[in-house]
Structure 1
């Protein structure tokens, strides 16, 4: 099982870069950046807390940090036209010399859409729109010219040059919905990502396998990635709003083994509960020492 770091974009760029460089120097697989513009409402975070933009961050990290893969976790489809996303992805793949993973999802955070006047359709329409966006993105990244005449997106004999260095550049879809979104993963994704503890990941991975069977696709073609809030040598939050793992070193080791047993190919570690500065690097080193790859 590979292990990657997710530096929160709500910290100074220098801290994000330090975490990415430490990951590169100590054998981590990748660095992931979430696509948000502000804290989510209701999280208890200052609504004016600064958040760095994901597309700029992955380009900067890719240029400054060697070896590790770099990816978006995940671009919200509602924020950018898919043709723009395809061009951004191809450029970052050149900046990283072929180390970029394009993570995409349907979009969800309400306050960002309200504040910026961006349309957030009901979930069914949002998924319809996302599927059309995938056709645009995959076409532009993997074909010479692309035409999509959809309800939501229309591109005509469109080009995206230069193409990515990777052929194909991997596309990861963030999804948890079992009826539609995991079917979209089965039909379109090279990688899949979701939050969850090992038992939930194993369950949803089984659902994905069944969608792959219906789509006539080998489920082993899709790389499985997951994340949970992570505590190293400390107390777990008393009332976590998201899945959490670790605490004691023994429990952390057991949790890591459980993710691997659940079929997770890559475990992504948010850095929010790892501390800062030297404490964060110590926690990262402990995690790295406990994972076989």
Structure 2
């Protein structure tokens, strides 16, 4: 069935359910053998028209600090930080602080930023796509230098650092950086340069294709593509009736999905594994209250994830 090394399985708790619910789900996953938990970095829900949204969303660094105190094993990180919201030096200091709070369990997820309504409502510059990616690439380079070196001087077009310390340093000597990107020309090249881990929403076919593009960028920067772990997320629906599963799979979705009986979903996850996936991140957004979420997560862990441990 599965002949490769173990896959990681992580949870992505709903950011709109309130902190108590998020903390209960994450603590449950910490106790029951999951590998990680991620929190998104947004200040409001998205709206296609760009108008503000009133959904109650928690700020990511504050939430992660509180979750760190309620967990012992899980890797924790943002999925992913919007670069437009914070100066890279501030990100580096916050990240190293969380790495110490977690005892070396922190994963620094970085993204370019994209959501229009929060930039507009809060007066944060979004920039055009090219400028946003230029700033993102510079930020990744600056952050990597800050969390690696005793002092950093960096003279970029958008960011400048002068003999900048970032003490204390990460407790394990190196903090993993997860790059969120799917753009073939710039995003995946940034991942090739800076990612310990790379993430994008992806079907199996998309994962294969983007991995090939990533490998070509790695060749250009003289890096082994196997040194970069790959992760994605998918919406999971487990059902016991194959006919019902087939009907649900026929329904349109704007996100990758894993739908079927446990045996069918094992096969679907196996296809991701054969495509090179190292970590599957499971959102809990569609499973109702905390009881429904933990029950669904337990079933997935027992009947699906166990096949890949």
Give the alignment's TM-score, normalised by structure 1.
0.95
Q: Does 1:125 align with 2:131?
A: yes
Choose the corresponding residue for 1:108, options 100, 105, 114. Answer: 114
1:178-197 aligned at under 5 Å gives the runs 178-197=184-203
| Paired residues, number | 292
Q: Deviations over 1:137-174 (max 9, x none)?
A: 11111101111111111111111111111221000000
Q: Contact (CA 8 Å) 1:232, 1:248: kept in 2 or not?
A: yes
Match of 2:175 in 1: 169
How many angstroms apart in 2 are the aligned matches of 1:248 and 1:107? 36
How many angstroms apart in 2 are the aligned matches of 1:276 and 1:257? 29
Match of 2:294 in 1: 281
What secondary structure is seen at the aligned counterpart in 2 of 1:177? Answer: coil
Q: Does 1:240 align with 2:253?
A: yes
How many angstroms apart in 2 are the aligned matches of 1:123 and 1:166? 35
Choose the corresponding residue for 1:144, options 150, 162, 169. Answer: 150
- Once the 2 structures are TM-superposed, how far is the Cα of residue 46 of structure 1 from its aligned partner? 9.4
1:66-105 aligned at under 5 Å gives the runs 66-105=72-111
Choose the corresponding residue for 1:253, options 266, 273, 278. Answer: 266
Q: What is the root-mean-square deviation of aligned Cα atoms in Å?
A: 1.7
Change (3 A) 1:191 1:157: same
Match of 1:40 in 2: 46
Q: Contact (CA 8 Å) 1:148, 1:155: kept in 2 or not?
A: yes
4+ aligned runs moved over 6 Å, structure 1:
none
Match of 1:55 in 2: 61
Q: Contact (CA 8 Å) 1:231, 1:246: kept in 2 or not?
A: yes
1:5-16 aligned at under 5 Å gives the runs 5-16=11-22
Structure 2 alignment gaps of length 5 or more:
1-6
Match of 2:3 in 1: none
What secondary structure is seen at the aligned counterpart in 1 of 2:137? Answer: helix
- Once the 2 structures are TM-superposed, how far is the Cα of residue 276 of structure 1 from its aligned partner? 2.3
Q: Contact (CA 8 Å) 2:52, 2:118: kept in 1 or not?
A: no
Match of 1:25 in 2: 31
Q: Contact (CA 8 Å) 1:232, 1:274: kept in 2 or not?
A: no
Q: Contact (CA 8 Å) 1:98, 1:165: kept in 2 or not?
A: yes
Change (3 A) 1:46 1:128: closer
Structure 1 alignment gaps of length 5 or more:
none
How many angstroms apart in 2 are the aligned matches of 1:254 and 1:241? 21
What secondary structure is seen at the aligned counterpart in 2 of 1:103? Answer: strand
Q: Contact (CA 8 Å) 2:99, 2:171: kept in 1 or not?
A: yes
